[in-house]
Amino acid sequence: MKIINTILTSTLILILLISNTATCFPTPPPIPILPIPSSQQLSWQLSEMALFLHFGPNTFTDSEWGTGKADPSLFNPTHLNTTQWVTVAKENGFSRVILTAKHHDGFCLWPSEYTDYSVRSSVWKDGLGDVVGDLAQAAEKSGLQFGVYLSPWDRHEGCYGKTLEYNEYYMAQMTELLTRYGNIKEVWLDGAKGEGEKDMEYYFENWFNLIHQLQPGSVIFSDAGPDVRWVGDEGGYASTTCWSPFNRSNAAIGDTDTSYSQGGDPLGQDWVPAECDVSIRPGWFWHPSERPKSATELLELYYNSVGRNCLLLLNVPPNSSGLISEEDVKVLEEFSNLKNSIFEYNLAKAANVSASSTRGGDNDTRFNPRSIIEEGIYTYWAPNKNQSHWVVYLDFQELVSFNVIQIQEPIQMGQRIVKFHVDVVNKDGEWSKVLNGTTVGYRRLIRFPSVKTQSLRLVIDKSRSDPLVAFLGLYVDTVSVIRNTKNNRTTNSSSYTNFNGSQALHQIVYNHSRISSI
């Protein structure tokens, strides 16, 4: 009998041990919600800002769209220094540079074997120069990503208009660019074509397959992707609601609805995030009569592109000497200093962070709400499954003032948040709404009249699946003006001070009757 009791006791202990062991397994991460970005698209998104470099015969003829008939001997940038271009980009927060290797005039900034209209026919370096090669080497040395724009429209090439011949010509030149110059991280295409131009078909799908074959680490930009889409205008602004999900089947290069490009599609089957292209000057090429935008205008562009789940592609055209002009360099430095002064310190780091629920329980550090004050998208707060109440709380030891909030989703898990709002505790001890928001994505920045509070809560009102929050930051911006993005009128009548030709917002608001709906 003792033996039986011993066996039973041992069996019971074994069962308990197995049961306890089973309950110690951690809760797995939530399943991603499709679509999700590729590794190339993640690399693109993390770079946040890129410098576009429009350069060529137009720089010397003071024109925007060359005719393709300019004498190649005009191209003579006597002080060209691509290291300066790259240094300006890197020192001011731009992670990649994209060069117009060939613009609409057909002039090639590399010695192409397929045309006599290139640097080979110029007097620059006695025809032995290679702008593409110089920039590729400078970018690699500095650690910047490198991309090229090869214009489909070619106003010089004689076979343009003969569909098969020109597509062969174009792919031959694309092959030169993608096999001679190391890693190409972005290939930029568009559907530009002047009125009355010869009618022909571009074999985009052939081009896309060739690019992915030769440069599998690159993303392809066009009106309709396949990897990165145009935001729909050249103003540098994205829509306040901006989804990375998109349906490529609903888009065509040169024929995509602008509102669809700007907003994306919460039901989209493809991951095609938006890129916002804009020039620092009125034109895309350098013109001696034009002046750059101000630092505060660039800051505004940053908020409305990077701060709306996009990448900012800022064109900074080199001048006829082959350098980025000093006035452009100065503005970029001022912009960089402004941006850094705003975002150098996250006030949320001083807060105690909690949430309505935590996946795996409060002791599961992988999904703990405290992780949202650490920068990066690879750690995140996740709520328990099947909840309908999703809230993150920040409680401070003392009153804090701020007027900018930053929110990020772990986009490798899909874009989820559809609608959210932010409340703070006012001086009467009551929760009061500060702002409403829609999409978040990789990065969402929202400005609002300054508040002073000891407690804040981020409330997710609607989500495509369980919402995930990777980062939350609170900052003070003393230089921006809150504007109506449609007509650019100031929507805030607070007191201001001038800064670099702009106006700065200083008011502290206790009574949160004003709600930013962005």
What is the per-residue pLDDT across 317-335, written as a single tens digit (0 to 9) for each? 999 999 999 999 999 999 9
Among the listed residues 367, 410, 390, 412, the one whose alpha carbon sits nearest the alpha carbon of residue 463: 390
Cα torsion 219, 222, 226, 228 to 10°: value is 50
Q: Are 356 and 387 in contact (CB under 8 A)?
A: yes
> Residue 117 pLDDT > 60, yes or no?
yes
Per-residue pLDDT tens over the stretch 43-68: 999 999 999 999 999 999 999 999 99
pLDDT digits (tens, 9 = 90+) for 286-321: 999 999 999 999 999 999 999 999 999 999 999 999
In the chain, where are the structural domains located? 39-194+201-343, 347-482
Q: Report which of residues 366 and 481 the model is more confident about.
A: 366
What pLDDT does 476 receive?
97
Q: Contact 62/288 with Cβ under 8 angstroms?
A: yes
Instruction: State the average pLDDT over residues 464-470.
Output: 97
- Strands 270-271 and 245-246, by their bridges, are antiparallel
pLDDT of residue 25: 85
How is residue 53 written in tokens? 């470099």
496, two tokens:
């201001």
Q: Looking at the predicted structure, is the pLDDT value of residue 482 above 60?
A: no
Q: How confident is the model at residue 501 (pLDDT cuts 50, 70, 90)?
A: very low
- 10 pLDDT tier (thresholds 50, 70, 90): low
pTM above 0.85, yes or no: yes
CA distance 381 to 371: 6
When pLDDT is averaged across residues 132-157 and rounded to a whole number, the result is 98
Check pLDDT > 70 for residue 12. no
Per-residue tokens: 88? 């300006």
Nearest to 99 by CA among 363, 250, 318: 318
The angle formed by the CA atoms of residues 436, 440 and 446, to the nearest 5 degrees, is 50
Mean pLDDT of 9-26: 54
Residue 191: which pLDDT band, with cuts at 50, 70 and 90? confident
Q: Give yes or no for residue 487 having a pLDDT over 50.
A: no
DSSP state, 237? -
Residue 477: which H helix or E strand, with range?
none
For residue 497, pLDDT over 70 is answered with no
Mean pLDDT of the chain: 89
Phi and psi at 262, nearest 5°, equal -70, -40
Nearest to 59 by CA among 329, 321, 295: 321
What residues contact 18, with CB distance under 8 A and at least 6 apart? none
Please give the C-alpha separations between residue 50 and each of 69, 87, 211, in angstroms, as whole numbers. Answer: 31, 13, 20
By the 10 Å C-beta count (0-12 exposed, 13-18 middle, 19+ buried), 360 is classed as middle
Euclidean distance between CA atoms 413 and 503, whole angstroms: 39
| Cβ-contact 384, 397 below 8 angstroms | no
pLDDT at res. 231: 96
CATH architecture under which domain 347-482 falls: Sandwich (2.60)
- Residue 210: name the closest of 249, 246, 253, 176 by CA: 176
pLDDT, residue 24, reads 74
pLDDT value for 60? 98
Q: Which amino acid is at 44?
A: W
Measured distance CA(199)–CA(185) in Å, rounded: 31
Number of H helices, E strands in the chain: 10, 20
Q: Is the pLDDT of residue 459 over 70?
A: yes
Question: What span, in angstroms and rounded, lies between the C-alpha atoms of 407 and 441?
Answer: 8
Task: Look at the domain 39-194+201-343 and name its fold.
Answer: TIM Barrel (3.20.20)
Strands 228-230 and 49-53: unpaired
pLDDT at 8: 44
387: DSSP letter? -
Residue 510, SS3 per DSSP: coil
Cα pseudo-dihedral 254, 309, 327, 483, rounded to 10: 100
Question: Of the candidates 184, 104, 194, which has an alpha carbon nearest to the alpha carbon of residue 152?
Answer: 104
Spatial contact of 230 and 274, defined as CB atoms under 8 Å apart: yes
Nearest to 255 by CA among 224, 227, 285: 224
Rounded (5°) CA angle 312-493-514: 80
- DSSP strand pairing (352-355 vs 311-315): unpaired
CA distance 89 to 18: 58
The rounded distance, in Å, linking the Cα atoms of 20 and 25 is 9
Q: How far is CA 485 from CA 22, 202, 390, 398, in A?
A: 55, 35, 30, 34
Q: Which positions ≥6 away from 188 have C-beta within 8 Å?
A: 98, 147, 148, 149, 150, 221
Q: Phi and psi at residue 28, in whole multiples of 5°?
A: -70, 160
Let me know how long the chain is. Answer: 518
The answer to whether 131 and 82 are in contact (CB under 8 A) is: yes
Distance of CA 195 to the CA centre of its chain: 32
